[in-house]
Amino acid sequence: MESFHIPVLKEEIRHWLQPHAGGVYVDGTLGHGGHTMMLLEASAPTGRVIGIDRDARNIATARERIGETDRLSFVQDDYRHLKRILDAQGIERVDGILLDVGFSSAHVDDAARGFSFQQEGPLDMRYDTDQGQTAAEVVNTWSEEQLTHVFLIYGEEDRAREVAKAILARRRERPFSTTVDLAETIAVALGRHGKIHPATRVFQALRIVVNDELGAIETVLPQAVDALNVGGRLCVVSFHSLEDRLVKRFLKARPDVQILTKRPLTPSPLEIAGNPRSRSAKLRVAQKLGPDEIGKSKNKYNTHDRSLNNKALNALPTDHSNVPHSVEPHA
């Protein structure tokens, strides 16, 4: 049986996005369609969803899983082009936007995509395999300074310089072409200590830079708020502190949104037990304000919607019954 990506914080997103019949929603990171299925169900019978993903294979899986319906449009594109995508659909404003950023379990489970340092595969890591440079091109051509910067900033790898030096020394003999090849070079440079594989942080950094993940988030956020109807909501799930910080700062600086989650929502212990990959997920939610509401609220944060706070949500049962629990998408 095919294993699908398990959607994180699904009940929380249902609660905060408030999908309803007649509404129009964007799932900017369709993946295997787990969240989109929830949006379709919650907005039945007339709600509409635009499901975007850069990865053609994930779109094909979602299409096969959900089937064709005139309530759902599949769009293979980068969510950073949100305005253009909505224009092409003839849509000016939407009622809710979800971004569940990063990679899906399909990426790490398939060795041929090059995300996993535990399985031999080409050093690729692109979500869209038709565009951009591969991880191999980055490690084989970028300077020691550039690689050190990438590993330090995106991977928070303290020994970034040592890794960059080891990569340059090795590539002078022979360029890198596979995941395991790179992982072994890193393991030799850093040694093995503790449970975490020494290549974990460097692989994360490469994935972020290969797909320009922070650039995509930075570019989409203003378009997302602009595209919301008054009262419409934006939900962003991030898995990395840099992404989360970007979202937090953007929302704080934007006068026409009310932040509904003072602190980000996180998965319950039950959800983490069923889906360990969810453990670093953070959900932030904001609501679009009308012109006459801007600047009126004393507080940037909503103080009246306490119906489901983080604690209460963490007590919610999370239904994983329709998806296998075996998927643990860690490289």
Ligand X SMILES: C[S@@+](CC[C@H](N)C(=O)[O-])C[C@H]1O[C@@H](n2cnc3c(N)ncnc32)[C@H](O)[C@@H]1O
Three-state DSSP at 179 gives: helix
177-216 residues in contact with ligand X (CB under 6 A) are 211, 216
The stretch near ligand X (CB under 6 A) out of 73-81, 85-93, 225-233, 313-321 is 73-81
**Binding residue (CB under 6 A) for ligand X from 55, 95, 157, 244:** 55
Is 100 an interacting residue with respect to ligand X (CB under 6 A)?
yes
Is 277 an interacting residue with respect to ligand X (CB under 6 A)?
no
Quote the radius of gyration of the chain (alpha carbons, Å).
20
76-95 residues in contact with ligand X (CB under 6 A) are 78-80
In the block, tokens 């019954």 appear at 321
Token couple for 23: 């509404």
Closest Cα to residue 55, out of 103, 5, 115, 123? 103
Is 52 an interacting residue with respect to ligand X (CB under 6 A)?
yes
**Binding residue (CB under 6 A) for ligand X from 19, 23, 31, 198:** 31
3-state secondary structure 1-17: CCCCCCCCCHHHHHHHH
Spell out a b/e string for 107-130, using b for 16 or more CB atoms within 10 Å of the CB, else e: bbbebebbbbbebebebbbbbebe
Q: Which helix H or strand E contains 163, and what residues bound it?
A: helix 160-173
- 99 or 225: whose CB is closer to ligand X? 99
Q: Give min distance, CB of 101 to ligand X, in A.
A: 6
Is 148 an interacting residue with respect to ligand X (CB under 6 A)?
no
- 104 or 140: whose CB is closer to ligand X? 104
* H runs (alpha helix) in 117-159: 135-141, 144-153
Q: Which helix H or strand E contains 216, and what residues bound it?
A: helix 213-227
**Binding residue (CB under 6 A) for ligand X from 29, 116, 179, 261:** 29
Is 243 an interacting residue with respect to ligand X (CB under 6 A)?
no
Report the alpha-carbon distance of residue 95 to residue 228 in Å, rounded.
Answer: 6
- 66 or 202: whose CB is closer to ligand X? 66
**Binding residue (CB under 6 A) for ligand X from 58, 134, 179, 268:** 58
Residues interacting with ligand X, by CB under 6 A?
5, 7, 29, 31-35, 52-55, 58, 78-80, 100, 102-104, 127, 211, 216
